[in-house]
Homo-oligomer: A and B are copies of this chain.
Amino acid sequence: MCSFQLARRRALLQSFAAPCAVPNSTMNQLWKRCFTAIPAAASKLAGLDPTKLTVTKTSTPKELTAAKNLVFGKTFTDHMLSIEWTAADGWHAPQIVPYQNLSLDPSACVFHYAFECFEGMKAYKDNNGQVRLFRPNKNMARLNKSSSRIALPTFDGDALTKLIGELVKLDSRFIPDARGYSLYLRPTMIGTQKTLGVGPPGSALLFVIASPVGPYYPTGFKAISLEATNYAVRAWPGGVGDKKLGANYAPCVLPQLEAASRGFQQNLWLFGEEEYITEVGTMNLFVAMKNKETGQKELVTAPLDGTILEGVTRDSVLALARERLVPKGWAVAERKVRMAELAEAAQQGRLIEVFGAGTAAIVSPVRKISYKGQLVDCGLRENEEAGEIALQMKNWIEGIQYGDEEHPWSYVL
């Protein structure tokens, strides 16, 4: 085993005092202690170094797609960022190269054992033409958590943010300078080792591609409907549902097709006999309702218990709600909500609104949820496509993303 892997393993093992044999009740706590991100600093091998960046510009620049014809994740910019890692040398010199195919041995471990993780983030053009990222440090931290969970290398988040900035600046002509438009960025890490043996990859590739995207709701909000899903299970305690791994996505597509065949855009993943509301697969879920006992208005979302993705938008909605809604009389809570509790609130007229939260749409209002053969009405009037809180959140977050409001979450390139 190479010295880098040994160093990572040693760092991992420092958190173990004794073999992991514990009652199930403390499994989650133990898990958190066992599997935290390992700082790359633990290694003496080369770290990710932006000063070593080389840039090879394309000789065949693409024509821009008309803004109105942009489809999410279909067209890409002229260039990509590409950084190789090997267990022997650490991170190689970063390269910006023309957007191009990856050439990989058919035995590369990414094809067989899903050694792959990714991030979703966006670059925005503000009114002064400056390009901004939104909370990139959160994406970098999460990518490190994801990669270390599947024995892929970690990296210096600030260094990768800088390198992503170089790619975005080089390809900034692809960012339409209209509100709602942005450049979707997809940092991805894959294991490239050529072997069918199952073990920690000895080589990896970190690449970033960029795709110009239009507003999620080009003609204004359009509320979606969800199918509460219990026959398939997205994530579980002690699993990897809180990491942004490829492994969490392919298995959700068939249930999504099932839901679609019955007229529902997405699955609302329930968990356990209690049928706790977890998340929507590509979004976290927020519920605004009045407390059954006190009538207190509450904005509630599932807690980070290991079964839901630690959404950056989720975190932003929570922070803004605590800062700006609590003074207006709202309570904000991260707690488990049973689907039956939500259905009861709807029946009793206590459900105010429900919305998803994610990078693609910021917020996505929900009209109804199919549950046990019933349709739970989520509080929107018939002629209404978004509730007040969802609308407010979208405006607040978009204002920060596009630099209308100066805020530490906005990162000017």
A245/B197 contact (C-beta < 8 A), A233-B238, A250-B150, A257-B9 known? no
Q: Name the residue in A232, A275, A371 with the highest tally of chain B Cβ atoms < 10 Å from its Cβ.
A: A232
The stretch among A43-51, A188-196, A218-226, A326-334 that forms the contact with chain B is A188-196
Q: Which chain B residue lies CB-closest to A113?
A: B249
Q: How far is the CA of A112 from the CA of B237 in the complex (A)?
A: 23
A20 touches B231 (CB 8 A): yes
A21/B246 contact (C-beta < 8 A), A253-B200, A257-B12 known? no
A258 touches B34 (CB 8 A): yes
Closest beta carbon of chain B to A241's beta carbon, Å? 10
Can you tell how many copies of this chain the complex includes?
2
Contacts of A12 in B (CB 8 A): 254, 257-258, 261
A18/B253 contact (C-beta < 8 A), A111-B116, A188-B106 known? no
Contacts of A199 in B (CB 8 A): 253, 256
> Chain A 338-382, CB within 8 Å of chain B: the 1/0 string?
000000000000000000000000000000001111000000000
Q: How far is the CA of A211 from the CA of B148 in the complex (A)?
A: 29
Closest beta carbon of chain B to A252's beta carbon, Å? 8
- A interface bracket (residues with beta carbon within 8 Å of B): 35 or more
Contacts of A19 in B (CB 8 A): 227, 262, 370, 373
Of B110, B150, B231, B256, the residue contacting A30 (CB under 8 A) is B231
> Chain A 98-137, CB within 8 Å of chain B: the 1/0 string?
0111111111001111111010000000000000000000
Closest beta carbon of chain B to A367's beta carbon, Å? 17
Closest beta carbon of chain B to A10's beta carbon, Å? 9
Q: Which chain B residue lies CB-closest to A103?
A: B101
Closest beta carbon of chain B to A343's beta carbon, Å? 11
Of B34, B151, B370, the residue contacting A250 (CB under 8 A) is B151
Q: How far is the CA of A320 from the CA of B114 in the complex (A)?
A: 34
* Interface CB pairs A-B, < 8 A, 21: A12-B258, A21-B228, A21-B373, A24-B230, A24-B275, A27-B231, A73-B195, A101-B104, A104-B104, A106-B207, A106-B209, A107-B186, A112-B116, A114-B247, A148-B254, A150-B253, A186-B196, A199-B253, A200-B257, A239-B239, A245-B247
With A18-B373, A73-B107, A112-B249 already in contact, 12 other A-B pairs whose C-beta atoms are closer than 8 Å = A19-B262, A21-B372, A24-B272, A34-B232, A101-B103, A101-B105, A102-B106, A184-B196, A198-B249, A200-B257, A232-B238, A233-B239
